């Protein structure tokens, strides 16, 4: 997988388009003059968490002794579920906003809305597929994070320009693209498993 393909995959999983209404809802109680600063801080927190998992991913996978084929198949299944949630979204912002009484700090904006388990799983999958390309995966992560940061920092303008229906349509389109990538990832893992099984016998 190329750096651009990996970055696009991570961008789809980060789902900044789908998170715009959630972020706007969660930042309602923050004074307008502080919202951009708070959002940038949470984005940096999320980046630090994701980079940490990326750099420590190989150690975790070696400890668990997971095979690349199983990671690829499991990653395809996970991404497929994520894509389905993007195509058929649930209301997320309201419940979180009701539980949040003060300015968000690390939770829930940075973790899990940006640096969530799905993004962590994708990073572990990339590391396991090519451990020697950690620098490439780091560049892909930075590209995806930068695109996500730009969209979320301009979330107010995006919401006014596209509206709720426009954002929902874009998220569903991104979900469809992620479905295709998830199926391809699953088939790649299945093919490697079958080939290795045949060679082993």
- Residue-wise pLDDT tens digits, 7-37: 999 998 898 988 888 888 888 878 888 889 9
CATH fold label, 3-94+104-200: Growth Hormone; Chain: A; (1.20.1250)
The structural domains of the chain, with segments of one domain joined by +, span: 3-94+104-200
CA distances from 35 to 19, 23, 52, 88, 155 (A): 15, 10, 26, 29, 11
In this predicted model, what pLDDT tens digit does every residue of 115-174 receive, in sequence order? 887 788 889 888 877 889 999 999 999 999 999 999 999 988 887 888 878 877 877 888
pLDDT(188) > 90 = no
Closest CA to 11 of 191, 151, 160: 151
Strand partners, 105: 107
Work out the pLDDT band at 40, boundaries 50, 70, 90: very high
pLDDT tens digits for 49-103? 999 989 987 787 778 777 767 777 877 887 788 778 778 876 555 445 444 556 7
């Amino acid at each position: 997988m190329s750096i651009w393909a990996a970055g696009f995959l991570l961008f789809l999983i980060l789902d900044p388009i789908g998170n715009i209404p959630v972020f706007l809802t969660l930042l309602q109680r923050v004074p307008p003059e502080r919202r951009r600063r708070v959002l940038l801080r949470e984005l940096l927190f999320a980046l630090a968490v994701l980079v940490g998992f990326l750099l420590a991913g190989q150690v975790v996978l070696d400890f668990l002794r997971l095979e690349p084929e199983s990671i690829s198949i499991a990653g395809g299944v996970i991404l497929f579920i994520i894509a389905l949630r993007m195509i058929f979204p649930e209301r997320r912002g309201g419940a979180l906003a009701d539980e949040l009484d003060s300015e968000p700090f690390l939770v829930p904006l940075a973790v899990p809305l940006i640096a969530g388990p799905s993004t962590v799983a994708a990073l572990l999958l990339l590391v396991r597929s090519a451990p020697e390309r950690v620098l490439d995966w780091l560049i892909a992560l930075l590209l995806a994070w930068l695109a996500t940061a730009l969209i979320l920092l301009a979330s107010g303008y995006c919401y006014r320009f596209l509206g709720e229906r426009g954002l929902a349509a874009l998220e569903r389109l991104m979900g469809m693209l992620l479905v295709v990538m998830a199926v391809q990832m699953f088939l790649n893992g299945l093919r490697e498993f079958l080939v290795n099984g045949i060679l082993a016998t």
